[in-house]
Structure 1
Amino acid sequence: MRNTSRPCAKSRRQDHGEHAERGNLYAEVTDRIIAELEAGRVPWVQPWGRPTGEGAAAAPGLPRNALTHRNYSGVNVLILWGAVIAHGYPSQSWLTFRQALEAGGNVRKGERGTMVVFADRFTPEAERERARETGEDAKAVPFLKRFTVFNVAQCEGLRPNLAADPAPLPEREIVPIAEEVIAASGVDFRIGGSHAFYVPSADYVQVPPQPAFYDQINYYRTALHEMTHATGHPSRLDRDLINKFGSKDYAKEELVALSGQSAPPATLQ
């Protein structure tokens, strides 16, 4: 016989509290991501790091737990990348307070951690019982838990070689045919800074140095994208390059620059 009894008031209050907590946590994570966007940081898209001289930059790669060596996933990647960029941490490795103690060290006094979340599903025993009685499938309940982690740079006394970061990128990863295209274009090509752009009024292209890119092939993708904009100069194909961001003409020019590329660069100017 099917159990048609309704859950007690205490159970309903508990479920309501869990839903509210989960909703608050979702909102908290969303607010963190929006704050990163409003600060101009888009670490999950931008393929290069900070140029030399503006502070230490973490090695490329996914954030990982320094003790278990497991990579973080999902929204935690965005949260931890944002923290690395915001604070200039030189490492992508993280620990909980307890794990820092297990690793022989501790979190330095006064350090503030970064919140990450653990998402999973579980099936309550009451739901299992209902499923057995009705013959229906048991419904799993999603849940989120928050944890606080600290970058290894916020810790002291940790044992040596704890989840070492990957080796630095090589100084240059040359693609000869791309270098030939750049040289043959005749465009004034400049390397430096932390932004990629073409300046129609002065007719030059500038891109960050290649070692600053997490994937060095993105250096060439970005360079050739900006140089495609340069083909619109009056001395070349004479396209309208002075147009408002978000306008149809701006979009049309971006489509021109994207044509022929296997992947678009992260920042289009």
Structure 2
Amino acid sequence: LPEDMIAPVAPIASELAIAGAERVIQNSGVTFRIGGGEAFYSPTHDVVQVPPQIAFLEPINWFRTALHELGHATGHKSRLDRDQTGEFGSASYAKEELVAEMASAFACAALGIVPTVRHADYIGAWLEVLRADEKAIFRAASAASKAADFLLACGEERP
């Protein structure tokens, strides 16, 4: 490849990355609460809750977690309308977790956020889904790309 195509990309200043993530959160249209001891998205109430940033060993991971939960929120029927009816441990639950985690990874990459990745909680369920369906990763990546695009559009600066 030509040299200009393989030159390293300058990292985005952390304050700009964080500002971009905060715009996504603020403009997502999702009720976003900070508090409690667990991060979750409630499809019934269309609410994301994330513990305070101080609860994270590495504060940048708060943004990864927030974007993961907002990734779930993109599946709400008023947004991208994904199936979110799966019970914990089910294949459909694992698929949704894979979509949310990939959406978070895509959004973090686009915003210039470099979190510490923690997949151990879900990797077993993901492997079952991926083994059962050879196209699952492509479906998840497609849904995650749509979710990340949705979130990133929320974070665009508006005049």
**Shorter-chain TM-score tier:** 0.5 to 0.7
Residue 197 of structure 1: CA displacement?
0.2
Count of aligned pairs = 95
Q: CA deviation at 1:225?
A: 0.1
Taking a change above 3 Å as real, the CA distance of residues 200 and 267 of structure 1, as seen in their structure-2 partners, is farther
Greater length-normalized contact order (CA 8 Å, ≥ 6 residues apart)? 2
Aligned pairs for 1:80-99 (under 5 A) are none
> Is the 1:199–1:205 Cα contact (8 Å) retained in structure 2?
yes
Aligned-partner residue type, residue 210 of structure 1: Q
Gaps in structure 2 of 5+ consecutive residues: 1-16, 106-114, 123-159
Q: Which residue of 1 aligns with 2:31?
A: 188
Pick from 58, 62, 66: which aligns with 1:215? 58
Report the residue type matching 2:40 in the other structure: F
In the aligned structure 2, how far is the partner of 1:221 from the partner of 1:265?
Answer: 12
- Give the structure with the larger helix fraction: 2
The 1-side partners of 2:37 and 2:21 are apart by 21
Letter in 1 for 2:45: A
State the Cα distance separating 1:267 from its structure 2 match: 6.6
Following superposition, the deviation at residue 264 of structure 1 comes to 4.2
For normalisation by structure 1, the TM-score amounts to: 0.33
Equivalence map 1:1-269=2 (5 Å): 175-260=18-103, 261=105, 263-264=117-118
> CA shift at 1:221, angstroms?
0.5
CA contact (8 A) 1:191 1:206 kept: yes
Judge conservation of contact 1:258–1:264 (CA < 8 Å) in 2.
no
* In 1: Cα distance, 2:29 partner to 2:70 partner: 10
TM-score, length-scaled by structure 2: 0.55
Q: Structure 1: which 5+ residue stretches go unaligned?
A: 1-173
**Paired amino acid for 1:177:** G
After superposing on structure 2, the runs of 4+ consecutive aligned residues of structure 1 that deviate more than 3 Å are: 264-268
What does the per-residue CA deviation read over 1:157-194, in whole Å, with 9 as the maximum and x for residues that have no partner? xxxxxxxxxxxxxxxxx811110111121111000011
**Aligned equivalents of 1:188, 1:253: Cα separation in 2:** 20
Distance in 1 separating the partners of 2:45 and 2:79: 14
Q: Percent identity?
A: 59
